[in-house]
Chains A and B, each alone.
Chain A
Amino acid sequence: MQRLVAVGQILTALMFSFFFCAGFAYCSDYDELATLELEELMDVEVVTTSSRRSEPLTQVAGAVVVLDEEDIFHSGATTLPEVLKLVPGVHVSQMDLDKWAIGIRGFNGILSNKHLVMIDGRPITSPTTGDVSWGSNVSLSDIKRIEIVRGTWTHLWGVDSFTGVINVITKTAAETQGGQSVTVAGTSGIEQSFRYGGTIGDNGHYRAYVGGWEKNGNWTSTSEDNRSSSDWSKKQGEVRIDWENAFTDSLSFQGGFADGSIKDGAGGSGRIYMPHMRDNTNAFGQFTWNRALGLDSGINFRTSYTYTDITVDDLKGGTNTVDADLEYAAEQNGIHRMTMGIGSRYYWDDIRSGTNTSIDRQRRYTFAANGFVQDRITLSEDSTYLTLGTKLDLLRNSQVEVQPTIRLLHTYEDMEFWGAISRAVRADTRWQRSGSYKINVKGEEYTVYAPDSLSTEKLISYEAGYRQRVTPDLHWDVSLYINEYDELIMLEYDKATRTASLDNSLKGTSYGVETFLEWDAYEWLALTPSASVIYQNIYGHEKSPLGNSMPEEGVAYELKVQTRIKTTDNTGFDFLIGYMKGPTDKNVPGYLCLEAHTYWKATDTLMLELIGRNLSEASEQYSSLHVGPSADLRVTWNF
């Protein structure tokens, strides 16, 4: 017993002495450092502080989420829309093999989505139909990050960004040096891509990419409908050349070409047409020049050309867009930090109408221009910022729209509070103002005629949010919004003539809340639960808007948990489980989403991944087609 007491006394002594001396050493470090002369400082060892992972932007008065390479990898996504499922408030539903219905804060109809999608600043939202050709855009392994802005930011991005912005930023050529092969094979088809990057002189880099796929998807048929698309083949190539000197300028050129075909089963949309083979060609080129002028200050010029094939039923043709933007970001000047810019877009097409589906050929050219200015005013240093901004959009028919915003951000320790009031408009698309087509409404066929007299859709948006880094491993974000809509475009039906026409008669309010937690519970376990709820009280002349992916009245919500488990340094397991109930078509029931991803980094250059999607059950996500389970193996080899 006495021996135990003695041992206890020794341990007590050692512990006490350790803490005493450690505390003494800690207190004395600063005092000692403060007394050192210049020469003595050169002998002080530098310790590094631990770095953290990429996180949502913390100095923005808005609901902004940034998905980085790690997020994209752990999602197990093989296409861009699958990555976007991670973000609360972004509704992602697959309609057919090559069609996704994606919306931000509502409006995820294939032809009525009201947000802007860009790749490196180049808009890929179609000026013709307002939709996005999600199957022909960017290789996931080339993406550096995806910035998703939920809410109204038309004061910067203009009339295309009514409810939000999705901006995909790709890696620079310098960040993709060497070779890479990515193979995806499984129940949904096979895909292969090669990428190689090298240098040009001392300051230049390039990369080239070629790829292609043959896909049939993972569709399951019902007895009523067995017309999912199939035999989707695609070949595409891209090149990027960057030049950056050690001084102030950088230049970048990007170009790409994609050609493919698909057997369109005509079952994925509300429009009525016969199944047919659909060819699709896309091409683009973009040039960017950036000059740094100071700290967080510079001039950026971007211009691009985009060609897109358009095929709707028996209507076929090609669309061309040339756009240019010039932006100036001024250095902080007292309490002001100004940003301003001008831009323009010229659009023309050559679309030949079919027998069932047609479009007016008289209005094939559109010119639009815009200018914006924004000032971030520092009300209290490092804590309170007021942002005032507006954009002027010159639309067709010389119509000018003003889209102002006022935003306030207050930060206190690890907390951020923000609020915003904005006005936004959205212009009609070429398809909405001059297209004629047939749709199915409750089993009855209607022919839609465009009046070409539509005015802009209007939105007054009230937003607020709160973010907090509760602990270094726990981050919480919540956003609330009230969107008051007026003059939204809807379809008016005439049962006698079985015709329908577009009209600005829809209005109402939507209320929503989005929240998520990022919690690194343990070194081996990270959890990201999220929830979004939207209540839409939107009405028109009809009791409830019908067809053509109109917003539905009532509550829609999504609950998701993304889990990352790191089993060893080179292996891990990720899964996403959620309940999805979209905000656009109430006839589509909510469904359970279960997706899994496991990986093994076999060597420093070889990564193997097994990806499972829709593992719970085959379900309707948006259209009457059922999306079934799938399993794919992805092999990434860097050389």
Chain B
Amino acid sequence: MRRFSSIIITVLVGIFCLLPGTAIGGKRLSATSEQLQALYVQRLVKYVSWPESVRPDKNKPFIIAATDIKKLRPYFGQKNDATRFKLVQWPAEGAHVLVINGAPNREVAAILKRTANLPLLTIGQSQANLRCGVIINFYMSQGKLKLQINPTAAGQAGLFISSRLMKIARIYGGKK
């Protein structure tokens, strides 16, 4: 009995010793690139305004299209996401967002050429995508995923980017 109680005490002391370290030091969060992209997409829609004719009703989900749906699927449809977002494979009718995640540059260029004047928030992940007219681009900086915004492309698509998003992102001013 004495031995059992000493084990319990030891375990509790051990946990006690380790927990404060986490609380005091602050846990450094990490995620996979795909997971982070999914989280970004789910938040970005709050900072973009679509024309009234295509904006989803309050009770209807945003339609998120992706060129490789399999990479994003594990990070959608969890908890409240299922009702707020509908993830579909590109090409798709009526999509609000297009995530370009895994397609050759020339195919991306062809897609962006076709969708340039549509109210579609295009999100890419390379400088080549940005040069071809993607509206938001992910880029890596010191091991973290950051955002670039192409306001010209957004204007051509008829989308309005909030000032808050413009403040935290790097603005792309190159030729489209």
Knowing A9-B10, A17-B11, A294-B91 are in contact, say whether A44-B31 is a contact too (CB < 8 A).
yes
Per-residue CB contact flags for chain B residues 1-17 toward chain A (1 = under 8 Å, else 0) read 00100110011011101
Q: Is B24 in the interface zone, CB < 8 Å from A?
A: no
Please encode chain A, from 236 to 276, with 1 for each CB lying within 8 Å of some chain B CB and 0 for all others: 00000000101111100000000000000000000000000
Tally chain A residues at the interface, Cβ within 8 Å. Answer: 51
CB-CB nearest in chain B for A49: B32
- The digit string for A1-31, where 1 denotes a CB below 8 A from any CB of B, is 0000100011011101110110001001110
Assess the A17–B14 pair: CB atoms within 8 A: yes
Interface flags, A26-64, vs B, CB<8A=1, else 0: 001110111011110111111111000000000000000
Q: Is the CB of A246 within 8 A of B36?
A: no
Given the known inter-chain contacts A13-B13, A298-B107, please indicate yes or no for A44 contacting B36, CB distance below 8 A.
yes
Complex CA gap A247/B176 in Å reads: 11
Q: Is A292 in contact with chain B by the CB < 8 A criterion?
A: yes
Cβ of B144 and Cβ of A46 under 8 Å apart? Answer: yes
Q: Tell me, rounded to whole Å, the shortest Cβ–Cβ distance linking A156 to chain B.
A: 21
Q: A25-B27, A41-B43 are in contact. Are A247 and B106 (CB under 8 A)?
A: yes
Cβ–Cβ < 8 Å partners of B28 in chain A: 45
Chain B nearest CB from A290 CB (Å) reads 8
Contacts of B109 in A (CB 8 A): 246-248, 292
C-alpha spacing A333/B22, complex, angstroms: 51
How many whole Å from B167's CB to the nearest CB in chain A? 9
A positions within 8 Å CB-CB of B: 5, 9-10, 12-14, 16-18, 20-21, 25, 28-30, 32-34, 36-39, 41-49, 244, 246-250, 290-298, 331-333, 381-382
Taken together as a complex, chains A and B put the C-alpha atoms of A293 and B114 apart, in Å, by: 9
| Distance between B174 CB and nearest chain A CB, rounded to angstroms | 11
B40 on interface, CB distance cutoff 8 Å: yes
- Are A298 and B11 in contact, CB atoms less than 8 angstroms apart? no
- Contact of B113 with A by CB under 8 A: yes
Query: B13, B15, B110: which contacts A21 (Cβ < 8 A)?
Result: B15
Which listed residue, B22, B47, B110, B144, touches A45 by the CB 8 Å rule? B144
A553–B132 Cα distance when bound, in Å, is 60
Contacts of A331 in B (CB 8 A): 91
List, in ascending order, chain B residues with CB within 8 A of A49's CB. Answer: 32
Say whether B39 contacts A36, CB under 8 Å.
yes
With A12-B7, A45-B31, A247-B106 given, can you name 20 additional A-B contacts, CB distance below 8 Å?
A: A10-B10, A13-B10, A17-B14, A25-B22, A28-B27, A32-B27, A38-B40, A38-B44, A38-B47, A38-B164, A38-B168, A41-B36, A41-B40, A244-B106, A246-B105, A246-B132, A247-B132, A248-B113, A292-B110, A297-B110
Question: When chains A and B are docked, how far (Å) is the Cα of A17 from the Cα of B19?
Answer: 9
Judged by a CB distance under 8 angstroms, whether B171 is at the interface is: no
Q: Which residues of A contact B82 (CB under 8 A)?
A: none
Identify A9's interface contact among B7, B39, B105, B145, CB under 8 A.
B7
Q: List B contacts of A244 (CB < 8 A).
A: 106
Contacts of B40 in A (CB 8 A): 38, 41
CB distance from A317 to the nearest CB of B (A): 42
Cβ of B86 within 8 Å of any chain A Cβ, yes or no, is no
Q: How far is the CB of B38 from chain A (nearest CB, A)?
A: 10
Q: Check B29 against A33 for contact (C-beta < 8 Å).
A: yes
Measured CB to CB, the closest approach of chain A to B63, in angstroms, equals 15
Known: A21-B22, A41-B145. A293 touches B33 (CB 8 A): no
Beta-carbon contacts under 8 Å, B92-136 to A: 103-107, 109-111, 113-114, 128, 131-132
**Chain B residues, CB < 8 A from A20:** 15
Chain B residue numbers with a CB within 8 Å of A9 are: 6-7, 10
Instruction: Kindly state the separation between the CA atoms of A44 and B26 in the bound complex, as whole angstroms.
Output: 13
Q: Considering the complex of A and B, which 8 residue pairs feature the smallest CB-CB distances, nearest first?
A: A13-B14, A17-B14, A292-B106, A13-B10, A292-B110, A292-B107, A247-B109, A45-B30
